[in-house]
Amino acid sequence: MKRDFRWFAACIAACAALFALPVAAQTALRMNISVAQNSHYGVAIDTFAREIEKRTNGRYKIQNFYSGALGAERESIEALQLGTLDLTMTSTGPVPNFVPDIAILDIPFLFRDYAHARTVLDGPIGRQMLDKFEAKGIHALAWGENGFRNMTNSKHPVNAPEDLKGLKMRTMENPVHIQAYRAFGIIPTPMAFTEVFTALQQGTVDGQENPLSVITSAKLDQVQKYLTLTGHVYSPALILMSKAQWDKLSPADRQAFEDAAREAVKANRARIDDDERKAVADLRAKGMQVVENVDKAKFQAALAPTFAEFGKKFGQENIDRIRNYK
Ligand code: EAX
């Protein structure tokens, strides 16, 4: 009898000790993107979430939301400033409304190719630009990638800039794009990406422009007939965090978030490289008519008047520094 009591008392003591152990608190952070989970951003934020859980030993957990579930890109950036959202991955589309200097990157035909864009953004120029977000209540963790943008429409094939004249095209809410596309003779209609599929389906707009990764992940082949590989502008992306949340992190956790963002961008860029290899064949198989051989010099020449204006706005030496960066 006495032995049973001792055994029972030992069990009680062990349980009490177990409950006394300090259970590491877990902080859940919400992250939102405007495109589907099966996309170049979806693979990035899912990688980010795995890396954060691993690198903080579960002290931080990222709850991911896709397809604009918590808002479109502009609303997500505003929510970071308000502290009602913790993280987002976004194109630079709406960013000039918050950090105007970043708009220089949205100038058409600024980057030669993906290698050039990635080298600039991963180097000192990109670093300087990330630092500009702090004053706006946002911590920019890393440059990601959306891709080179191409034109789609439902009216007719686009073989040359003059074929764009009169087309009502959805654009991002980006002042540089809107100004440039007018030079093509396009009627620009800015709207959030979350509204684009319906607008195309209902014929509110004739077309839009986006990288192949967005065109495929958003299934725009279901509402667009013609695609032209204009590659008229490189579209950077950003992994952004609410500064209020960033400021709460320990130095070690800040390093973990930076490292996780780096892994996310690797996955993001790898997915884009894969999409760029496969998308044209996939889209053709789904019925899109694709113009692949585009005289880009003609499209660039059509924008000449706006390049002079961008030179005055951003400083020609700043544009040349990016354009000529090796
Ligand atoms: O960031 O708004 C756009 O066209 C963007 O390319 C899209 O939301 C992905």
CA of 149, closest atom in ligand 1: 6
pLDDT per residue as tens digits for the range 43-92: 999 999 999 999 999 999 999 999 999 999 999 999 999 999 999 999 99
pLDDT per residue as tens digits for the range 204-243: 999 999 999 999 999 999 999 999 999 999 999 999 999 9
Tell whether domain 24-323 is in CATH 3.40.50.10710.
no
CA of 90, closest atom in ligand 1: 1
Rounded Cα gap, residues 235 and 145, in angstroms: 7
Nearest CA to ligand 1 atom 3: 193
pTM > 0.85: yes or no: yes
Nearest CA to ligand 1 atom 7: 193
Task: Give distance in angstroms: CA of 177 to centre of ligand 1.
Answer: 13
CA of 91, closest atom in ligand 1: 1
Task: Give distance in angstroms: CA of 258 to centre of ligand 1.
Answer: 24
